[in-house]
Every structure is written in C-alpha cells, then in structure tokens.
Structure 1
Amino acid sequence: MAPSSETLTAERILEATEEVLRRHGPAKATVVDVARALGVSHGSVYRHFRTKAALREAVTKRWLDRTSLELAGIAAERDRDPEQRLRAWLRSLFDAKRRKAGQDPELFATYMVLTRESGQAVPEHIADLTAQLTDIVRAGLDAGTFTASDPAVTARAVFHATGRFHDPCYAEEWAAPGVEAEFEALVDLVARGLRAGH
C-alpha cells in the first residue's frame, strides 16, 4: 500500500531522493521520480520541500552533515591529548571523504554537482568543520601543547593546508600510490608547526 502524505516525512523524502539521484544522476532526477519512488504525488513532496532546488539543497546538507557528525565526536573528546585529537580528526575527515568517493562513486559524482549549485550547505559545512578544528586548537592552547595567536585563524589555516585530503576536487588522487605517506607527512608537519616552543 502506498504511504499517505500524513506518514510522509522529510527524512523519508531525502532517503528516496538519494536513491533516485544514485539511479538517474542530478541531470535526470526529478521531483516526480522521487514521488514515484515513494508512491505519493509530487504535490506531497512539494509540501515538505517547496522547490526542486530546496530538495536538492536539503539532500546535499544531509550528505555533508553525516561527515560533520562523525567528526564532532572526535572534536569533543576532552580526555584525549589535543594533538592526538587533531591527528584523529584529520584522519577521520580524509577517511570519510575517501570512503564516500570509493564506495559509492555514482552518488559521489552526483554530490559533486549538487555541492557546486548549493546555496548555503557547503559554506555551513565548512564553517562547522573549522569550528570543530578551532575547538581542538583552543584545547591545545589551554593545555600548553599548541601555540597560536588566534585559534580560529589557525584552524582555518590547518583546514586549507590539508585540503588535498578532503576537498572533493582532489578525489582522483586519494587512491594514488603513496597518498598515505603524503597524508601522514603533512599531518606531522602541521602538528609540529602547532606545538608550543616551535
């Protein structure tokens, strides 16, 4: 039996949209396709997302939020040394992005298109990630392990310096021979640069 519009939730719509995007790609996926996948009218989908652009923005945000949530736990680990938190956070960011690119290449390619047309989802994602990094840098300053004049500026510098290992435009390089050694070398360099007394 097809679900009624009363049982239709935004989350169910986003799940269906992700499947439709995986099958058809962003150029061919329509709100009608999403509604058909859910067994409802396209008007039911529009009651939750007023436009196709709003639906695409929401599905992009949902995709990005998964990474943010995964990393937030590491950033909040107060019982771990700040340098170890920083290393674990950067490692998890690289692994999460690489996993998305490698395990579901069709959907990853779709999200590359969606993030380029995104309104606020990408800037909000970057702001969230740099806020998490800022917390780690600030913890390092408080513990006397890191030195930095401004934790937020330093966090943004670390984020941009490590971009090759999380910016999707570099995804083709993430499986290249030697990429692990290059990642570890960069993280070591960043950690050394942050240590107090250097």
Structure 2
Amino acid sequence: MATETLTTERILEATEEVLRRHGPAKANVVDVARALGVSHGSVYRHFGTKAQLREAVTKRWLDRTTNELQLLMTDGSLTAPAMLRQWLATLFAAKRRKAGDDPQLFATYQVLISENSRVVELHVGELIMQLDHIIQDGIAKGQFSLPHPDPALTARAVFDATNRFHDPAYAGEWQKAGIDEEFRALTDLVLRGLNS
C-alpha cells in the first residue's frame, strides 16, 4: 500500500494517467486506486462517485487554461487592446497545446467534457468574465468604445466570434497552414470593432 498521504491532487493526477492509458470508456476507480496503491474505498472517500471524480478531473484540466489567463491579466503594463490581443493569443495557444501535445488525453477530455456540460458552462462563464473585465478596463481608460451598451454582451460576442480558435470542435484546423494569419486577421477585426 502507498506510504504517501492520499490527497485530492494525487488522485486527480493518477486519474489523468489512467485516462491517458485506458481511455474514458475503460478507465475506472479500481484502476485509479491500483495506480495509487490504495483501495478503491480510499478514492471514494475523496470522491463519492466515479462521475464526481471524472467531473473533478475535467474541471482541473479546464482550470489550467483559466488560471493561465488570469495570471496574464495581472500584467498592469499592457493597454486594454494589447491585453485583449494577448489574452486571445494565450487562449488559442493553450488550447492548441492541449490538442497537440497529448492528442490521446485531449480526445479523452472531449468525452469527459461532453459528460460534464455544467463544468464546461462554468469554465466558459469564467472566460467571458475575464473578457468582460478587459473590455470594461478598456472603456474606463478610454481605449475601447462599445458597439453595444452592455460590456458583458460584448464580451460574449468576442468569445463567440473567436470560437474557431478555442472551441475543441475546431481542433483539427489548429495546425493547418495559414491558421496563425487567420487568427491575427480576426483579432485585428475584433480590436477595430472595439476601437471604433
């Protein structure tokens, strides 16, 4: 049996590895417990059901992107337009990295995301709140003018307009020739819309 203290983080790390090896259809709590050297009851003490464990590992995966973007937003040296451009580029790069670096795990997470739509909705909500913050900051500094009087609605529109560069449904396009130029063209268009 394991000598290290069993923590939520260790369970989530082991679950990710089990999912990578077995895929979402075959991975189960017994496999996770075996990888940790504990009984499956020990895992269930942290996560009451397999569904809760899968939801937590999905949230952890999505939070990596949210946290990376939140860290970027602490850079007070950027203007709002520069921050928005960098935020969109960071989101695109993070999603592309996830799809390209570990395609097997990415495919597994696509299954988990479809099972955990509430977690995805919360993730998208957090991203839109970050965009809203950038846009409101730009308005306050006179760097943005809104095409619509509601900054939150504008933030949602920006998120939806750039969907091709962060929605996993488009992952197959993210490595094609010319995608970076297409991303820059769309980002330029969005920024022009906020500056008019």
2:49 aligns to what?
A: 51
Partner of residue 19, structure 1: 17
- What is residue 88 of structure 1 aligned with on the other side? 86
Q: State the distance in 1 between where 2:3 and 2:54 align.
A: 22
RMSD: 1.0
Unpaired segments ≥5 residues, structure 2: none
Letter in 1 for 2:21: R
Question: Of residues 95, 98, 101 in structure 2, which corresponds to 1:100?
Answer: 98
Residue in structure 2 matching 1:75, options 42, 67, 73: 73
SS at match of 1:120: helix
In 1, Cα distance between the equivalents of 2:117 and 2:192? 36
Partners of 2:20 and 2:165 lie apart in 1 by: 24
Tell whether the 8 Å contact from 1:57 to 1:119 is kept in structure 2 after alignment.
Answer: no
Match of 1:115 among 94, 113, 118: 113
- How many aligned positions are there? 194
**Whole-angstrom CA distance in 2 between matches of 1:32 and 1:18:** 14
User: Paired residue for 2:162?
Assistant: 162
Per-residue displacement from partner, 1:20-44 (whole Å, max 9, x unpaired)?
0000000000000000000000000
Report what 2:181 is aligned to.
181
Amino acid across the alignment from 2:46: H
Counterpart of 2:191, as a letter, is: A
Identity across aligned pairs (percent)? 64
> Which runs of at least 4 in structure 1 moved beyond 6 Å after TM superposition?
none
Question: CA separation in 1, counterparts of 2:194 and 2:73?
Answer: 17
Residue 145 of structure 1 and its aligned partner are, at CA, apart by 1.2
Give distance in 2, aligned partners of 1:33 and 1:112: 20
Q: Deviation at 1:151?
A: 1.2
Work out whether 1:126 is the aligned partner of 2:136: no
Residues 65-116 of structure 1 show CA distances to partners (whole Å, capped at 9, x for unaligned) of: 0000000022233331000000000000000000000000000000000000
Superposition TM-score, scaled by structure 1 size: 0.96
State the alpha-carbon separation in 2 of the partners of residues 2 and 185 from structure 1.
53
Gaps of 5+ in 1: none
Contact 1:75 1:135 in 2 (8 A): no
